[in-house]
Amino acid sequence: MLRPQLVAAGLLIAALFTACTGSAGENTPQPSAEITEYALATATATLSEASTPEFELPTATPYLYTVVENDTLFGIAARLNITLEALMAANPGINPQALSPGAQLLVPSGGSASTTPMPQLTPVPVSASPPLCFASAAGELTCLVLIANDGDQPMENVTGFVRLLSASGAELAIIEAVPPLNLLPAGAAMPLVAYIASPPPNWASAQAEIASAFWVQSDDSLYTPIDNVEFGWTPTQDGSAARVQGQVSLAGSASSVWVMAVAYDAAGQPVGVRRWESEGETGFDFWVYSLGADIADVQVVVEARP
């Protein structure tokens, strides 16, 4: 079983912090910064009226990119100056490990492909736990795949997918698993999130596989280092949600600050994840919800960009 760790993430920096319990107000706070909610709450493994992680495509006219030999989704996204998440969202159902030369991908931005050769990036190993899947009352399915960076340096663009299998082991569906943050520091853990609105009705089990993970390149301008994070969390009486409050100290300026809170049950399994976003604001106050068992622990990862 993976042992999740509390980590504040910056380029080549992975600091471990200890969670403490703070006091929560009576009403759910209304933070000014945007909150991206990857999972809504219920007190059981069944969601009620779940909302889903959605990726809004840019408004610029999309175009098609033709895959060439040795292409990877990460390399294509970097070359076209778009996010890996946006590229995957624009091409649902694509298998990141089976890109065929000549295949065409929908590119959700108005940029054009660069003729500058891209460096060949070597994927690195990353361990993943079996997926935990939670069904909603509407039949939607959300799966969390806990991943860990067991190396000694940070990695980025960790992506994967979840396969839904029949009782006989036949593959029925494949779902992209998206990371809430771009950066996974050394010794850190976080869940990938996979969602499908209409899973096959006769699926019996799920398997997870990592599609890509790369060491962070030697460019310290990509992320703003984190000096310190102070935070506390307080669960609701029934354990279905927890309020997370804290302050991030940066070693420089940042145009964006992302705080990811991961809720764990008593067995150390992830049961909820939520990402708080701001345009440089460093004080955070938001809620994370459980998809299943009562929340027994909350840990955070912080990512900042200049």
Question: At residue 175, does pLDDT exceed 60?
Answer: yes
Res 5: pLDDT: 36
The pLDDT > 70 percentage for the chain reads: 71
Residue 142: CB atoms within 10 A of its CB come to 25
Q: Which residues contact 103 (CB under 8 A, 6 or more apart)?
A: 66, 67
Of 179, 197, 215, which residue constitutes the final position of a domain?
215
pTM for this one? 0.65
Mean local confidence (pLDDT), 229-251: 95
| Domain membership flag for residue 300 | yes
Provide Rg for the chain, Cα atoms: 19
Question: At residue 299, does pLDDT exceed 70?
Answer: yes
Helix or strand or coil: residue 300? strand
Give me the number of domains the chain comprises: 2
pLDDT digit string, tens, across residues 71-126: 777 778 777 777 777 777 777 667 776 777 878 787 875 444 443 444 445 567 77
Could you tell me if 130 and 185 lie in one domain?
Answer: yes
Could you tell me if 286 and 251 lie in one domain?
Answer: yes
Domain CATH number, residue 296: 2.60.40
Domain coverage including residue 156: 122-215
What is the β-pairing status of strands 297-305 and 7-10?
parallel
Q: For residues 240, 261, 265 and 157, what is the CA-based torsion angle, rounded to 10 degrees?
A: 130
pLDDT bin (cut points 50, 70, 90) of residue 29 is very low
Of 215, 231, 248, which residue constitutes the final position of a domain?
215
Across the chain, what does the average pLDDT equal? 75
Range in 63-67, 156-160, 227-231, 288-292 the model is least confident about: 63-67
pLDDT digit string, tens, across residues 136-160: 888 899 999 999 888 888 888 888 8
Range in 4-13, 104-113, 191-200, 276-285 the model is least confident about: 4-13
Domain CATH number, residue 131: 2.60.40.10
Of 158, 187, 215, which residue constitutes the final position of a domain?
215
Question: Do 15 and 226 meet the contact criterion of CB atoms below 8 Å apart?
Answer: yes
